[in-house]
């Protein structure tokens, strides 16, 4: 742990400190180089270090938020460009909107897509690594085609048009690889939370949440867990009791009344107050929902915990139909469960297939398999002779109608790129960007709508990919997946093994692999929105150097006993920092309207205004790819009518 941190991290730290002394506009101008995506060797997927919301991607938007952007130094340059449609945001929603628009308006329709990041795809980013002779892919955000509810006909239609045959997934997935090597999910108890560092077998067959209840608990594993877990004896007793006890904690209430009660208490309170378990059990389960909600069980309702199959509800005999106010993530659906496909770079493959449809020269090949190894040519993304152009490193700073919204025939969009501000005109605009940004760039929207947009929130997350030279330590310790409720990252997983289109995943422990680590930046004990706000600031203010220290420390403590040496075994680290991560989904503990019914804020937020329509997952308050596509489709339909 004391060994030297690489030069890359040192530079990253210095850039942040030096930047703090400059004025916002100087900072923006100093950080950017015009037209970077056309420079030789430009290839963001291969970059390591701080990715996601990388340095340089958010300064303009934050300057708009702080009211420091439009200073007298800013001059507008008319690019002279005229489009049919300008889309703000190059994530799945923005790219799908371009696709739907061209289907409706014809392939000659001229479309410009602007995105503030140096790569396209929004949350669906691709991370590449070379370790010796091995080529490894990782997902920097959007992990897979999966959704708690079945994909709509529209969303499924896009997946099929892209040539992705979801039912064929089993051909590519090496599902039994880890179990065939004797690896099993484990739990890492850390000394700060539980008094001792200990890697203990996870008795749940699912590794994460216990969706199969007591029947799914392996008695042999349970015995090992109870023997080894550094928790109080009473907690061990309560752990078993939660599964076996069939007590009705709310006697005399109907199923609906019980659900109404459960919707208003957190799972943490339910465990402590209704089930009366020892505090160690609450600590053990605290981070279980991090992957879904970005908060712990203190901010997830007991009703949602029941829907997710967390233990302690058997005796309540609840009607299996979901109750009012339940989060859609927590409503089990068999059809949806089956619709799953994971590319080695996650849904970055979807974005790359969409880009190939929009600008065929940019991504060579012609199948949904060959896209996995296809190398994107970034210089082709923004060419004057192409009907569709994708302009990266470009933050939209103003979107307005030319004239009155009701009668205008055009919109004008201004964007900052390379320290300059340009304008272009179009018949319509679709804002497929994060909703919290929209009030700052589209001031003419009605106040009520701006308020609803501003309330949309985002869930801050880290998706960290660590490329390692081998995974023999994991093999020696018999694990491929670790739940770590008290650690910096709450989940540590060896890559999901998928070989497709000539890409080969790691099969032998001696081969390089990508370890995926997930952190939800939250502050237990506060309302979810407050936790997200605090977590977002934490992620922006933590340097890569600090994160790297925490990663090395966590891996050393988790698998060091198996011989893992961070300084020797880590080949590269890419931290995909998403302070603006998942779309905020409504939570019955804090959003009373979700229980009461009526118009939701996202319905107000996404209303089309004149020639400006609004897409993105945020428009459905639902953090899934199918929603990004559904909302793109609606936005395109709205501007056409």
Q: How far is the CB of 275 from ligand FAD (least distance, A)?
A: 31
Give the C-alpha separation, 133 to 539, whole Å: 33
| Residue that has been written with the tokens 């990508």 in this structure | 514
In sequence order, which residues have a C-beta less than 8 Å from that of residue 85 and are 6 or more positions away? 97, 98, 101, 105, 109, 110, 111, 112, 426, 427, 428, 429, 430, 639
By C-beta, is 28 or 473 nearer to ligand FAD? Answer: 28
* Of 146 and 266, CB closest to ligand FAD: 146
Neighbours of 67 (CB within 10 A): 10
Shortest distance in whole angstroms from residue 394 CB to ligand FAD: 6
Residues 94 and 84: their CA atoms lie apart, in Å, by 15
Q: How far is the CB of 496 from ligand FAD (least distance, A)?
A: 11
Q: 482 has which bridge partners?
A: 186, 492
DSSP 322: P
3-state DSSP assignment of residue 315: helix
Taking the C-alpha atoms of 459, 494, 344 and 350 in order, what is their torsion angle to the nearest 10 degrees? -20
Minimum CB distance to ligand FAD, residue 421 (Å)? 12
Closest CA to 623 of 66, 52, 20, 91: 91
Which C-beta is closer to ligand FAD: that of 96 or that of 201?
96
As measured in angstroms, the least distance from the Cβ of 463 to ligand FAD is: 5
Q: Which residues pair with 131 in a beta bridge?
A: 134
Pick the closest to residue 300 from 332, 273, 271, 278 (CA basis).
271
Minimum gap (Å) between residue 231 Cβ and ligand FAD: 30
Taking every pair of Cα atoms in the chain, the longest distance, rounded to a whole number of angstroms, is: 73
Residue 366: CB minimum distance to ligand FAD, A: 24
Report the residue number, 316 or 617, with the smaller CB distance to ligand FAD: 617
Q: For residue 460, what is the enclosing H or E element?
A: strand 458-468
Judged by beta carbon, residue 90 or residue 610, the one nearer ligand FAD is: 90
Q: How far apart are CA 426 and CA 422, in angstroms?
A: 14
The single-letter DSSP state of residue 144 is: -
Binding site for ligand FAD (CB under 6 A): 61, 88-94, 114-117, 122-124, 141-144, 146-147, 347, 395-396, 432-434, 437, 441, 461, 463, 578, 581-582, 616-617, 623-625, 628
Q: How far, in Å, CA of 74 to CA of 78, rounded?
A: 13
Question: Whose Cβ is closer to ligand FAD: residue 271's or residue 619's?
Answer: 619
Cross-strand pairs, 49: 574
Q: Which is nearer to ligand FAD, 194 or 341 (CB)?
A: 341
Three-state SS sequence of 150-207: CCCHHHHHHHHHCCCCHHHHHHHECCCHHHHCCCCCEEEECHHHHCCCEEEECCCCCC
Q: How far is the CB of 270 from ligand FAD (least distance, A)?
A: 27
Give the 3-state secondary structure of residue 148: coil
Neighbours of 173 (CB within 10 A): 18
Instruction: Please give the Cα distance from 384 to 550 (Å, whole number).
Output: 45
Q: Which is nearer to ligand FAD, 113 or 187 (CB)?
A: 113
- Residue 296 or 581 having the CB closest to ligand FAD: 581
Of 88 and 473, the one with the shorter C-beta distance to ligand FAD is 88
Q: How far is the CB of 3 from ligand FAD (least distance, A)?
A: 30
Q: Which is nearer to ligand FAD, 115 or 298 (CB)?
A: 115
Q: Is the CB of 395 or the CB of 587 nearer to ligand FAD?
A: 395
Q: Is 569 helix (H, G, I), strand (E, B) or coil?
A: helix
Minimum distance from CB of 18 to ligand FAD (Å)?
24
The distance of Cα 283 from the centroid of its chain, to the nearest Å, equals 24
Q: What tokens were used for 637?
A: 């339909």
Least distance to ligand FAD, CB of residue 438, Å: 8
Nearer to ligand FAD, 271 or 429 (CB): 429
**Cα pseudo-dihedral 120, 121, 122, 123, rounded to 10:** -140
Measured between alpha carbons, how far is 620 from 606 in angstroms, rounded to an integer?
A: 8
The token pair at 37 is 């995506």
Q: What is the DSSP string of 282-293?
A: HHHHTTTTHHHH
Other C-beta atoms closer than 10 Å to the C-beta of 45 total 22
Choice between 441 and 500, CB closer to ligand FAD = 441
Give the contacts of 636 (CB within 8 A, at least 6 positions apart): 97, 100, 101, 104, 430, 613
Q: How far apart, in whole angstroms, are the C-alpha atoms of residue 309 and residue 303?
A: 10
Nearest to ligand FAD of 208, 512 (CB atom): 208
DSSP SS3 for 96: helix
Q: How far is the CB of 284 from ligand FAD (least distance, A)?
A: 24
Nearer to ligand FAD, 548 or 626 (CB): 626
Is 585 within 8 Å of 293 (Cβ atoms)? yes
Q: What is the dihedral of CA 240, 243, 244, 249, to 10 degrees?
A: 110
In whole angstroms, the minimum distance from the beta carbon of 624 to ligand FAD comes to: 4
Nearest distance, CB of residue 581 and ligand FAD, angstroms: 4
Q: Least distance from C-beta 609 to ligand FAD, angstroms?
A: 17
Cβ 331 to ligand FAD shortest distance, Å: 16
């Amino acid at each position: 742990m004391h060994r030297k941190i690489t030069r890359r991290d040192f530079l990253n730290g210095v850039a942040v400190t030096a930047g703090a002394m400059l004025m916002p506009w100087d900072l923006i101008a100093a950080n950017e180089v015009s037209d970077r995506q056309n420079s030789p060797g430009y290839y963001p997927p291969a970059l390591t270090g701080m990715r996601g919301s990388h340095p340089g991607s958010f300064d303009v938007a934050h300057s708009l938020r702080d009211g420091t952007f439009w200073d007298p130094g800013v001059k507008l340059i008319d690019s002279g460009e005229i489009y049919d449609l300008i889309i703000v945001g190059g994530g799945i929603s923005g790219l799908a909107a371009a696709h739907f628009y061209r289907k409706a308006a014809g392939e000659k329709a001229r479309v410009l897509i602007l995105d503030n990041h140096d790569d396209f795809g929004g949350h669906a980013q691709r991370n590449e690594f070379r370790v010796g002779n091995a080529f490894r892919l990782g997902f920097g955000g959007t992990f897979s085609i999966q959704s708690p509810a079945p994909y709509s006909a529209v969303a499924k239609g896009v997946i099929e048009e892209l040539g992705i045959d979801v039912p064929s997934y089993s051909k590519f997935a090496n599902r039994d690889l880890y179990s065939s090597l004797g690896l099993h999910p484990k739990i890492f108890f850390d000394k700060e939370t539980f008094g001792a560092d200990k890697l203990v077998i996870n008795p749940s067959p699912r590794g994460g949440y216990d969706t199969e209840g007591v029947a799914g608990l392996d008695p042999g594993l349970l015995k090992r867990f109870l023997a080894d877990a550094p928790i109080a004896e009473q907690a061990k007793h309560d752990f078993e009791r939660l599964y076996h006890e069939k007590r009705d904690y709310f006697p005399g209430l109907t199923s609906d009344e019980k659900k109404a009660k459960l919707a208003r208490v957190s799972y943490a309170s339910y465990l402590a107050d209704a089930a009366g378990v020892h505090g160690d059990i609450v600590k053990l389960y605290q981070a279980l929902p991090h992957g879904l909600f970005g908060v712990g069980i203190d901010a997830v309702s007991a009703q949602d915990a029941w829907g997710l199959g967390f233990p302690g509800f058997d005796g309540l005999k609840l009607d299996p139909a979901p109750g009012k106010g339940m989060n859609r993530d927590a409503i089990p659906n068999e059809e949806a469960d089956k619709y799953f496909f994971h590319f080695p770079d996650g849904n970055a493959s979807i974005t790359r297939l969409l880009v190939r449809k929009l600008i065929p020269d940019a991504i060579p090949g012609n199948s949904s398999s060959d896209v996995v190894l296809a190398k994107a040519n970034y210089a082709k993304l923004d060419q004057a002779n192409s009907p569709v152009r994708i302009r990266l490193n470009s933050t939209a700073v103003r979107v307005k109608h030319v004239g009155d919204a009701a009668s205008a025939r055009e919109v004008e969009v201004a964007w900052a790129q390379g320290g300059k501000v340009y304008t272009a005109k179009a018949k319509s605009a679709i804002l497929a960007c994060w909703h919290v940004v929209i009030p700052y760039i589209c001031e003419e929207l009605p106040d009520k709508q701006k308020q609803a947009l501003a309330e949309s929130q985002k869930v801050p997350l880290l998706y960290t990919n660590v490329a390692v030279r081998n995974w023999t330590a994991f093999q020696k310790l018999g694990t491929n997946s670790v739940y770590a409720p008290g650690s910096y990252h709450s989940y540590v997983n060896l890559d999901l093994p998928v070989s497709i289109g000539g890409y080969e995943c790691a099969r032998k422990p001696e081969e390089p692999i990508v370890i995926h680590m997930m952190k939800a930046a939250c502050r237990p004990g506060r309302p979810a929105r407050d936790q997200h706000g605090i977590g977002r600031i934490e992620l922006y203010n933590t340097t890569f150097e600090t994160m790297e220290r925490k990663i090395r420390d966590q891996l050393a403590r988790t698998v060091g006993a198996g011989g893992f040496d961070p300084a020797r075994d880590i080949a590269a680290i890419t931290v995909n920092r998403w302070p603006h991560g998942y779309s905020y989904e409504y939570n019955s503990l804090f959003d009373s309207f979700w229980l009461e019914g009526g118009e939701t804020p996202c319905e107000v937020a996404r209303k089309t205004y004149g020639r400006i329509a609004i897409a993105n997952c945020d428009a459905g308050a639902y953090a899934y790819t199918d929603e990004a596509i559904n909302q793109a489709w609606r936005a395109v339909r709205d501007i056409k009518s």
